[in-house]
A and B are shown apart, each in its own frame.
Chain A
Amino acid sequence: MRTSIQTIHLPVTLDVLLFGAAAAAAGADRVPVVMGMKQEVVTAQEVLASLGSQHPSLRTATTGARLAVNQAFAKPDAPVRAGDELALIALVGGG
């Protein structure tokens, strides 16, 4: 009997915290981003891209923005896992 093995892509929903103008644009202090995960890992860059595509009100905010993963700036190729605390860091204005 032949068997076939298929990779199942389980969509996972990640919450991304929003601040400042991004939160105002979205009308919320956090938004869900649905990711289809292979091996439970996606990159920060992929999360940002999905954030912009799934939430059109955030497209401007995600341009040139960075993602914080567990309260530290993540490099674009940094892995993101279910359960990580994610925050969109964009349009900051201290000082």
Chain B
Amino acid sequence: MNTLVALVTGPITPETEARVRTGVGSPQTSAKGDGDAGARLRFEGVVRRIEEGRALFALDYQTYDPMAQRELESLARGVGGRHGLTSILALHSRGRVGVGETSFVLEVTAPRRAEAFAATAEFIERLKQDVPIWKRPVWAP
């Protein structure tokens, strides 16, 4: 199983994701499949405009480094192993992410869609419970 996990400062853009994917020493999750996976599922967490009934300007993400990186890696290995994934990519922002911008990306590949959906749901659930990442709302004026 290919695993790529990274904390990114600021919003996750196509450019920052590309830099992470092509980083020296990083395992690759190829855009072109090798035929082992019949399903590729991508989830993006985006900062909503309304939070708790109020208008947001942004979310400030705080991470406890390097524990957050290690816990994300451990989570990826665990979820990937339990669901038989062929690859897992998990990126999460630290710092400020504005409304409409992406703060979390999860992309998994698996032999079949059932494993991909189940792994995605479990990863997000555990991320929200276990990984030392916090968010603070920055309200719109």
Contact = CB atoms under 8 A, between A and B. Distances in A.
B32 interface: no
A83 interface: no
A91 B135 CA distance: 10
B70 interface: yes
B64 interface: yes
Given A20-B136, A21-B134, A68-B132, A94 B61 contact: yes
A74 to B, nearest CB: 12
Contacts of B70: 71-72
A87 B133 CA distance: 13
Chain A interface size band reads 10 to 19
Contact of A95 (B64, B124, B132): B124
A27 to B, nearest CB: 14
Interface residues of B, number: 20
Interface string A64-95: 00001001110000000000000101011111
Most chain B Cβ neighbours within 10 Å, of A20, A24, A68: A20
B104 interface: yes
Contacts of A24: 136
Nearest to B123: A95
Nearest to A71: B67
Contacts of A19: 62, 64, 132, 134
Interface of A: 17, 19-21, 24, 68, 71-73, 87, 89, 91-95
